[in-house]
């Protein structure tokens, strides 16, 4: 059967953001879920095909090169298809790998959040890119594997650009994740899972639809038993930390309760036998949604709830809807009462803020967090500079301020000719125009907060940050690097 296919070996490659955007901890507990879902769907159609996913945040580039050479030797040049996911900050690294792997004899297929109807024609023109897809690729990849790159729905090539893109909500009910497709599964600290989709940005048509929603509202969701059965594969490899990538579980009280009710025996044993730092599930939760019911569910599945604090001094401009400081305080109090661990996330650089308010936020957060770190409720703090990424409202506002078209990336600010835009350059302009402090000052403020938090909390909580310029991280985070 595979002899009649255009591609007989499909390799997913996920590049991290190291060297482009500094991330201290978060990326180490996740895996390339979109690539895994796509290749799992491919294996259902063509079970005989060779398919594997490499996560270059875990696996070395030398291993990838070695294996790619072996695949080409076995399947032949032009018969190995490499699929890559472009995310904010990893585009230059992806492009470097795409060029190298194309030179070795692979064909390159790209998609992901950075590939939209606007940017896809730009990326498709790169000499080492065979084609790219807008939106989910799980239905399109089998067609490419069978027929190669030609005219197809949402497929952009050098010869063809569709007049329109068609948005298909992700089918959670019938989708699956085979974690055995992940190279070096046992070397991952955690794995990603998706309980349900909740991304408002997909409604704009500017983002990918991997998470399952093209419009606001509930999406389909996997059967709880199937969800846990898939995770048992990772458990068998010794990986029991789960990064639930649903934007918030708070909009799914009934469904999350069903997930908690269906917790299998193996997960119950993990919760009973392993210490909490080795078996948690990260689940996003809005402070206004944290109820007693969710706390009971969290205990059942071993969840840490990630609460978006954003800013204790500027909560009204944080874009958190009706969230008030009182909601955040009550959420922390409830979690403390139930013994549910929390992850607090916050941002320096909300519109209209500046150096003085960032410093005030540092002191407010340290004071607020102290008692919850002491009683074990607060286990993780992520404090980051605001980053401007494709598809966000601020991205569009920055382009408008710069006098640039949101429908034509020709003049978007970039560092490399291979990227449609550079998030650091976009972000620096944003801070100059929308904030009372520069991007460098925001990074300095973030590092200052982490320094103070390290002095106050020691090793009781994990300190994290993401989206920082690596050069500024080297400049301002010197004493922190030894502890991450």
pLDDT tens-digit map of 328-352: 999 999 999 999 999 999 999 999 9
Position 197 pLDDT exceeds 90: no
At residue 107, the pLDDT reads: 97
| Confidence category of residue 221, pLDDT binned at 50, 70, 90 | low
Q: What is the C-alpha to C-alpha distance for residues 450 and 444, in angstroms, rounded to an integer?
A: 10
- Contact at 8 Å (CB) between 87 and 33? no
| Residue 32 near residue 53 (C-beta atoms within 8 A) | yes
Residue 212 has pLDDT above 60, yes or no: no
Task: Please name the helix (run of DSSP H) or strand (run of DSSP E) that holds residue 371, with its range, or none.
Answer: helix 355-374
Give the Cα separation of 310 and 345 in Å (integer): 6
Residue bearing the bigger pLDDT, 41 or 473:
41
pLDDT band at 478 (very low <50, low <70, confident <90, very high): low
Q: Where are the beta strands (DSSP E) in 291-352?
A: 303-310, 342-348
Tell the burial category of 367 from Cβ atoms under 10 Å away from its Cβ (0-12, 13-18, 19+). exposed
Q: Are 361 and 313 in contact (CB under 8 A)?
A: yes
Instruction: Look up residue 50 and give its two tokens.
Output: 């060779």
Residue predicted with more confidence, 209 or 318:
318
d(CA 121, CA 74): 33
pTM, entire model: 0.91
CA–CA separation, 145 and 148 (whole Å): 6
Nearest Cα to Cα of residue 364 among 380, 379, 383: 383
Q: Count CB neighbours of 31 within 10 A.
A: 25
Give the model's confidence band at 23: pLDDT under 50 very low, under 70 low, under 90 confident, else very high. low
Rounded to an integer, what distance in angstroms lies between the CA atom of residue 193 and that of residue 15? 19
d(CA 175, CA 354): 45
Backbone conformation region of residue 155, classed left if phi is above 0, alpha if psi is from -120 to 50, else beta: beta
Give the per-residue pLDDT at 204.
Answer: 43
Whole-number Å distance between alpha carbons of 153 and 130: 15
**Closest to 368 (Cα-Cα) out of 291, 338, 377, 25:** 377
Res. 150 pLDDT band, cuts 50 70 90: confident
| Higher per-residue pLDDT: 404 or 324 | 404
Q: Which two tokens mark 79?
A: 């018969």
Taking phi over 0 as left and psi of -120 to 50 as alpha, with beta for the rest, 357 belongs to alpha
Tens-place pLDDT, residues 75-134: 998 899 999 999 988 999 999 999 999 999 999 999 998 998 899 999 999 999 999 998
106 vs 113: CA distance, rounded Å? 23
User: Which range, 11-20, 135-144, 311-320, 435-444, has the best average confidence (pLDDT)?
Assistant: 435-444
Complete domains list, the chain, with CATH: 7-156 (3.40.50.280), 190-483 (3.80.30.30)
Backbone angles phi, psi at 61, to 5 degrees: -65, -30
**Weakest-pLDDT range from 21-30, 38-47, 327-336:** 21-30
How many residues belong to the chain?
484
Predicted pLDDT at 282: 93
How many angstroms separate the CA atoms of 177 and 162, rounded? Answer: 29
Compute and round to an integer the Cα radius of gyration of the chain. Answer: 22
* pLDDT at 315 exceeding the cut of 60: no
CA 337, CA 374: separation in Å to the nearest integer? 14
User: What average pLDDT score do residues 270-286 get?
Assistant: 94
Residue 321 pLDDT greater than 70, yes or no? no
Q: Is the predicted pLDDT of residue 307 greater than 90, yes or no?
A: yes
pLDDT of residue 167 exceeding 90: no
Q: Give the tokens for residue 392.
A: 């966000």
Mean pLDDT across 400-419: 94
| Burial environment of residue 361 by CB neighbours within 10 A (0 to 12, 13 to 18, 19 or more) | buried
pLDDT in the model for residue 86: 94
Confidence at residue 83, expressed as pLDDT on a 0 to 100 scale? 97
Q: Which residues of 415-445 are buried (b: 16+ CB within 10 A; e: fewer)?
A: eeebbbbbbbbbbbbbbeebbebebbbbbbb
Q: How confident is the model at residue 391 (pLDDT cuts 50, 70, 90)?
A: confident
Q: How far apart are CA 484 and CA 25, in angstroms?
A: 7
Number of neighbouring beta carbons within 10 Å of residue 397? 16
**Helix ranges (DSSP H) in 106-154:** 120-124, 141-147
Closest C-alpha to 123, from 96, 156, 145: 156
């Amino acid at each position: 059967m595979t002899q009649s296919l255009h591609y007989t070996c499909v390799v997913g490659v996920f590049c991290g953001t190291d060297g482009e955007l500094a991330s201290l901890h978060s990326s180490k507990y996740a895996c390339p879920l979109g690539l895994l879902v796509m290749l799992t769907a491919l294996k259902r159609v063509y079970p005989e095909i060779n398919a594997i996913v490499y996560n270059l945040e875990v696996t070395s580039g030398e291993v990838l090169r070695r294996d790619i050479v072996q695949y080409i030797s076995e399947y032949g040049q032009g018969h190995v298809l490499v699929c890559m996911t472009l995310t904010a900050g990893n585009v230059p690294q992806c492009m470097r790998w795409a060029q190298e792997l194309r030179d070795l004899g692979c064909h390159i297929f790209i998609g992901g959040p950075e590939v939209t109807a606007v940017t896809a024609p730009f990326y498709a023109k790169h000499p080492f890119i065979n084609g790219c897809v807008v939106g989910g690729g799980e239905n399109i990849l089998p067609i490419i594997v069978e027929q190669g790159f030609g005219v197809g729905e949402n497929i952009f090539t050098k010869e063809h650009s569709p007049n329109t893109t068609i948005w298909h909500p992700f089918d959670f009910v019938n989708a699956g994740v085979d974690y055995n497709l992940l190279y070096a599964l046992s070397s991952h600290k955690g794995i990603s899972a998706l309980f349900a989709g909740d991304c408002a940005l997909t409604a704009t048509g500017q983002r990918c639809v991997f998470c399952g929603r093209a419009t606001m509202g509930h999406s389909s969701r996997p059967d709880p038993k199937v969800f846990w059965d898939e995770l048992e594969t990772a458990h068998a490899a010794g990986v029991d930390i789960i990064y639930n990538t649903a934007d918030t579980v708070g909009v799914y009280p009934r469904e999350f309760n069903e997930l908690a009710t269906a917790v299998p025996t193996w997960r119950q044993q993990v919760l009973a036998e392993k210490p909490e730092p080795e078996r948690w599930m990260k689940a996003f939760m809005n402070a206004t949604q944290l109820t007693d019911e969710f706390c009971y569910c969290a205990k059942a599945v071993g969840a840490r709830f990630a609460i978006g604090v954003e800013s204790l001094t500027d909560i009204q401009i944080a874009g958190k809807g009706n969230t008030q400081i009182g909601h955040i305080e009550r959420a922390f109090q409830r979690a403390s009462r139930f013994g549910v661990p929390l992850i607090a996330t916050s941002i320096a650089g909300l519109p209209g803020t500046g150096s003085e308010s960032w410093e005030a936020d540092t002191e407010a957060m340290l004071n607020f967090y102290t008692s919850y770190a002491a009683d074990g409720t607060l286990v993780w703090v992520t404090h980051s500079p605001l980053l401007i990424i494709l598809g966000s409202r601020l991205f569009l506002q920055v382009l408008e301020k710069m006098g640039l078209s949101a429908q034509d990336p020709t003049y978007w600010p970039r560092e490399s000719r291979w990227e449609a835009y550079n998030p650091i350059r976009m972000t620096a302009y944003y801070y100059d125009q929308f904030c009372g402090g520069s991007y460098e000052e925001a990074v300095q403020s973030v590092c200052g907060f982490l320094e103070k938090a390290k002095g106050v909390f020691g090793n009781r909580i994990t300190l994290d940050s993401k989206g920082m310029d690596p050069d500024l991280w080297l400049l301002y985070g010197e004493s922190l690097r030894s502890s991450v």
